[in-house]
Structure 1
Amino acid sequence: MKLVSSHLPPRRATWFSLLTLSSLWLLTFLCSPQSASARPADTLRVTPVLEELFVDPTCYSVLEDPSGQLTLAEVREPARARQFQAGNLLPTTTMEHPGSAYWLRLVVRAEGKLSQHWYLEMFDSHLNSVDFFPADGAAPTYTGSAFPLSTRKFPYKNFLFRLPLQPNQTQTYYLRLNSNSKTTFLSRLRTEQPLAVHFQTEYGLLGAFYGVLLIMVVYNLCLYLFIGEQTYLRYVLYVLSCSLVFLSEDGLGFQYLWPDYPALNELIVAGSPIILLLTFSYYARQFLDMPLRLPHFDQWVRGVVLLSVGGLVIDAVWLHLGWGFWFYLLPYGLIYYAAVRVWQRGQRPARYFLLAHALVAISVGFLILRKLGISTFTSTATVYSMNVAFVIEVVVLSYALGEKIKAIKDATIRAQDKLVKQLRKKHQVQEQLVEQLHHNQTLKDQLNTELEGLVAQRTEELRRQSDTITAQNRELVQANGLLALQSAAIEKLNTELQQDLQDVKTARVLSKEVDFGEFSQIYPDKDSCLAYLANLKWAEGYHCRKCGHEKYCDGREPHSRRCTKCRYVESATAYTLLQKCKFSIIKAFYAVFLIYTHKGNYSSQELSRVLDLRQGTCWSFSQKVLEAMRRRRHGPDFDENEGWTHVLLDATTTEAEEAVAEESAAQA
């Protein structure tokens, strides 16, 4: 095999200085294919001036063992040794067949006396089994992700093995690798000094990364506890699931959190992507308001997410094909498309969602290329691009979430201002009504004064004619009749004024000019509402719904009616819009009145504030009223000028059947 000592950036390392790059480039030139004929192929040469070497595919050979039964002695036999293939001659530089054992042969020669110890680092921490066989005949090391961390000589998230190199000697090292998923053979030789620097830099960057995630989790969790907005809690769950994916991917979780539980580590590695998909869709759908803005598309997204989760579970438990990342593409693409549509419809925070996840999509593309064994774009920047993209995403989405809450607050303030203007108009109308009532009272007082004057005048005439009472008896009888008519007129006028006042209040209810306090004067309690609903329901006479009988008696509940023939009891609210209403019937009356008189354009937030009910309850009841209004408009006897109380008698077929069953059970 050809010797190449190129300096490629490690998977978790920072950029080295220009001087180090220059020296490694010179070594690459010396180890290029043109000079390979001067020394044995398949040999890595280390010198005292070198500090690390990237193990290029040309620097190791691979033997696949499909049976997984070969021993080290069998691998060293000449027949088997000739079956080793150079890493650069393989179709890919990955383990293409999960479950097979792969033998790596690494030949290293120490040029001169080395001042530091050399170590071999395997970058992929998900190898289930890693057996290292030293060249000096020492005891082999058996470890892997399927074994506790204590089986490793160095408690490090990657696999690290010491190479006991002897001066001016060539030694051959063998590694037996086994994995349940496709993985690469990426590795590097390092000395002690750059290894220590690498540890400090890597753990510093990873600590900063997880520190940012922890800060965002605590920050958004506090906002959820203080504000009560559920979107913050969904965002916290999403960040935690992403943290779990990164902990399982880079091996820090196995190193620090569950080092003695390899089975738990495998479960988290397989299950964290599934949890990530669920929490991401759970958060993104509410952030984009998909159930409200795109209700039909939201159902498709939910179905695709569930199907993808099922595919991930099947691949993780039974198939082990390593296709899990493909199941992310369709639901992720649908959610991204939904974000575009929501943004086009005017939701400004959606543009931050698109920006943040565009960066994540690019980093996921690099990850897919690495999973497929395409290492063309593999570098420090691309390997860590997902960490950087996710940090940017966390910060941007936190800002977008804050902007969304601010937009909701501004919309609430605008709605409140609009309501204040409406209340002012209602107040003006109320003042006009009060003035009209004062004017009516003035007319009434004037009429009473005139009548009192007439009565006084007539009394004076009767007093003057008392001496001629016999002669003027007929006039007195007529005068008494006139007085009786005047008294009847006064009483009739008082009655008409009271009726006018009641009619004015009722008219104001029908013309959207009354608040809840005045509405309660028309329907002061539950009994009056039930009485009105019963009279409205049986205005055309009673007919038993079970037997058709027309005679009834009072039931146990107020204003309910019991058939005198079959004893079937029907309540006043049965087969009406208020059937199974979970809150006060007075508030339900007022809610129907507000929604109907505003032609359905009355928000559930405002209804929740006016009735002092939860917004979810108001929203559900509003949908029920709107559906009843729609059915009423399509009814054959619909009249444009009819009042809002016609909607009360609307009930769906399902609710009617449930009412019959429930009241039959109550009768039994």
Structure 2
Amino acid sequence: MTKRICLFVFLSVLALAKVAQAGTVVLQPGRDSYLVHAVVDVLEDPTGRLSFDEISKDPSVVAFRQYDVGQFSFGFTKSAYWFRFEVLNPAAIPHDMVLVMRTAWLDTISIYQPDGAGGYKETRLGDTLPFSARLHPHPQFLLDLQARPGPQTYYLRISSTQAFLSPIELWDAQAFHDNDRLLLAYFGMFYGVVVVMLLYNAFIWVSTRDRSYLYYCLYLGAFFIMNFSYNGFSFQYLWPDSPRWSNWTYTSWVFLYQLMAIIFAMVFLETAKRLPRMHRLLSLFLYVMSAAWLISILFASPVFHNATGVYFVFLYSPLTAVAGFLAWRSGFRAARFFVVASMGNLVGAFITAMTVSGFMPYSFVSFHAVEFGILADVILLSLALADRIKYLRLQNETAEKAIIEQKLQSNELLRQAKDDLERIVSERTAELRKARDEAERLSRVDALTGAFNRRYFNEVAALEFAKVRRLHQPLSVISFDIDLFKQINDNHGHAAGDEVIKAAARVSRNAVREIDFVARIGGEEFAILLPGSTIEQAAATAERLRELVIAEQVSYQGKQLAFTASFGVAQLKDSDQSFEALLQRADEMMYRAKNLGRNRVAA
């Protein structure tokens, strides 16, 4: 009877929550995240002078309005906005949550949460503060929130001179950190692709001195710093103590990216020779954009300056696409790839600009559309550059052959000239192949440690998995993670943490056989592939490596840093359908070792 009464009370609370005001988030068992921005109540403060005491005195007097469209973008505005929402925890115990504001460029954020004594405590965030002032070292804004039993009302005040786009989410604390690893993996993959393509094309430029490759590298570099900036990583890693610089450079990187994109289009399409009218139009657009950039910095308000950079996106993208189409129509074969690539970039940049400006609802896909567009752009423009080189080479070969045939009367001299030409082409081809091989090598190696990266580890592991299945040989994996690595970073700095990671990689490579494969697969996580080793042999190797790690001392700024690691060992089973199952068991053993007290081997 008592159980039935409790169940009835719980269902009644949920039913009442569903008819409560729009700004209520009801915590549900088994649910990890909630879209707060879809249910908040909103109050616009055009003057920015309203205080918390004024807006929280009498809810019936303060003109909050329900905001349930889920878009949560107000474009570019000088107004501050107040948001109110309620969290209803029907459980009898508090629940640890994380309030997440996804936009990295918000200037000032004030969060008011109940203090448990009838009042409110204020927490301030925003990119006008140094990065060290954040509660969590994260490019987005995070706040720990403890949802006490029953209803609790929370308030937010946000203002920004950048586009007022602020999706707000409420996460279970552990679920957020698990999900955040996936998001960081996405960014790691994306920036890795951009950097690899930049280096690849830089090697080609060094080899060929074709300035199209140079301007393409500058274009990719401008996109990288722009994207790295507005996703919050530049403030976190490049200038964490310079919030003013970070705020002013957001829009400058947007302008720089557009300028480099237009200059690259003009060089690649040879508009000065093929499309003189379009060349003059593009040149005029460059001057107008540069003037707007300078004038808005010197004389305009920050809001107008930031809006100008975004609104120019709506002009530059179609303009470059039109230039590519005209070059294609004029008979320039390589322009066909440029047009298709420009369309991908155009659509992606346009959707992102529409989202940032408040004309489209926010979603992960729409906000990051420019990144998806640039991936297609990178692939297609690489094909375009290769096709352009082939086209120009054919032109050069035809012209050189005509000149040789006109000047040389002897067949022997003609043959010798053709041999020389083939030798030059062969040398150039070899140089390009060397640049390609070097870029491929860099894509397989972890830049910090010199060990192999996760991408190459997965490729080798797949091959070994197929091999041992065919030959019926044993295969084992060691997965290990540096213990208490966050404390090393917090106490000694990220540079010290990097030295510890490099030391772990160095010890691992020296402790295993030549046929074993060591890779860094995460921040401080490593994996070792041991072909032909049983679980007993792998465990012995892991124990030896654990002792070597204990004995390793890292010298940093006059200090000797010691560290330990936890190891998990697993052997391939007949029931394993893929290598991922083996790696997952090794990871589980590693976490078991950590749970048992760290600095040990679990198999």
Q: What are the Cα deviations for residues 393-431 of structure 1, in whole angstroms up to 9, with x where unaligned?
A: 112212211221121112111112112221245x69xxx
- Of 419, 425, 428, the match for 2:403: 419
2: CA distance between counterparts of 1:213 and 1:51?
A: 33
Secondary structure, counterpart of 1:154 in structure 2: coil
Judging changes above 3 Å, is the alpha-carbon distance between structure 1 residues 222 and 312 closer, same or farther for their aligned structure 2 residues? same
| Contact 1:122–1:158 (Cα < 8 Å) also in 2 | yes
Judging changes above 3 Å, is the alpha-carbon distance between structure 1 residues 38 and 416 closer, same or farther for their aligned structure 2 residues? closer
2: CA distance between counterparts of 1:146 and 1:175?
A: 17
Residue aligning to 1:365:
350
| Contact 2:95–2:147 (Cα < 8 Å) also in 1 | no
Secondary structure, counterpart of 1:201 in structure 2: helix
- Of 177, 182, 201, the match for 1:201: 182
Secondary structure, counterpart of 2:31 in structure 1: coil
Percent identical among aligned pairs is: 25
Secondary structure, counterpart of 2:312 in structure 1: helix
Shift of the alpha carbon at 1:264?
Answer: 1.5
Shift of the alpha carbon at 1:207?
Answer: 0.6
2: CA distance between counterparts of 1:229 and 1:170?
A: 66
- Of 309, 314, 322, the match for 1:324: 309
- Of 255, 258, 277, the match for 2:239: 258
Shift of the alpha carbon at 1:97?
Answer: 6.4
Letter in 2 for 1:353: F
Residue aligning to 1:648:
none
Residue aligning to 2:73:
94
- Of 332, 352, 377, the match for 2:337: 352
For these two proteins, the number of residue pairs brought into alignment is 394
| Contact 1:48–1:111 (Cα < 8 Å) also in 2 | no
1: CA distance between counterparts of 2:309 and 2:251?
A: 9
Rg comparison, structure with higher value: 1
After superposition, residues 36-185 of structure 1 pair within 5 angstroms as 38-57=19-38, 59-78=39-58, 81-88=61-68, 93-95=72-74, 98-113=77-92, 116-136=95-115, 137=119, 139-167=121-149, 169-185=150-166
Q: What are the Cα deviations for residues 176-199 of structure 1, in whole angstroms up to 9, with x where unaligned?
A: 111113313421110123212221
2: CA distance between counterparts of 1:187 and 1:270?
A: 23
Q: What are the Cα deviations for residues 292-317 of structure 1, in whole angstroms up to 9, with x where unaligned?
A: 11223312210122112322444455
1: CA distance between counterparts of 2:339 and 2:126?
A: 39
Residue aligning to 1:338:
323
Residue aligning to 1:400:
384
1: CA distance between counterparts of 2:129 and 2:162?
A: 17
2: CA distance between counterparts of 1:223 and 1:173?
A: 56
Judging changes above 3 Å, is the alpha-carbon distance between structure 1 residues 74 and 255 closer, same or farther for their aligned structure 2 residues? same
1: CA distance between counterparts of 2:357 and 2:13?
A: 28
Shift of the alpha carbon at 1:107?
Answer: 1.0
Residue aligning to 1:274:
255
| Contact 1:47–1:114 (Cα < 8 Å) also in 2 | no
Secondary structure, counterpart of 2:280 in structure 1: helix
Residue aligning to 1:518:
none
Shift of the alpha carbon at 1:88?
Answer: 3.2
Shift of the alpha carbon at 1:124?
Answer: 1.4
1: CA distance between counterparts of 2:174 and 2:316?
A: 46
Q: Higher relative CO (CA 8 A, sep ≥ 6), structure 1 or 2? A: 2
Letter in 1 for 2:85: L
- Of 194, 197, 215, the match for 1:213: 194
Shift of the alpha carbon at 1:45?
Answer: 0.9
| Contact 1:277–1:305 (Cα < 8 Å) also in 2 | no
| Contact 2:17–2:24 (Cα < 8 Å) also in 1 | no
Shift of the alpha carbon at 1:48?
Answer: 3.2
Residue aligning to 1:382:
366
- Length-normalised TM-score, structure 2: 0.61
Q: What are the Cα deviations for residues 156-190 of structure 1, in whole angstroms up to 9, with x where unaligned?
A: 111111112112x2111111111113313421110
2: CA distance between counterparts of 1:334 and 1:362?
A: 13
Judging changes above 3 Å, is the alpha-carbon distance between structure 1 residues 160 and 343 closer, same or farther for their aligned structure 2 residues? same
2: CA distance between counterparts of 1:42 and 1:314?
A: 42
- Note the residue ranges of structure 2 that are not aligned, 5 or more in a row: 1-11, 412-603
2: CA distance between counterparts of 1:87 and 1:185?
A: 13
2: CA distance between counterparts of 1:334 and 1:76?
A: 50
2: CA distance between counterparts of 1:329 and 1:302?
A: 17
1: CA distance between counterparts of 2:244 and 2:320?
A: 33
**More off after superposition, 228-237 vs 109-118:** 109-118
Q: What are the Cα deviations for residues 582-613 of structure 1, in whole angstroms up to 9, with x where unaligned?
A: xxxxxxxxxxxxxxxxxxxxxxxxxxxxxxxx
Q: What are the Cα deviations for residues 124-174 of structure 1, in whole angstroms up to 9, with x where unaligned?
A: 11111001112114642212011111121111111111112112x211111
2: CA distance between counterparts of 1:176 and 1:247?
A: 26
1: CA distance between counterparts of 2:388 and 2:345?
A: 21
| Contact 2:37–2:72 (Cα < 8 Å) also in 1 | no
Judging changes above 3 Å, is the alpha-carbon distance between structure 1 residues 183 and 219 closer, same or farther for their aligned structure 2 residues? same
Judging changes above 3 Å, is the alpha-carbon distance between structure 1 residues 101 and 325 closer, same or farther for their aligned structure 2 residues? closer
Judging changes above 3 Å, is the alpha-carbon distance between structure 1 residues 228 and 67 closer, same or farther for their aligned structure 2 residues? same
Secondary structure, counterpart of 2:158 in structure 1: strand
Shift of the alpha carbon at 1:219?
Answer: 1.2
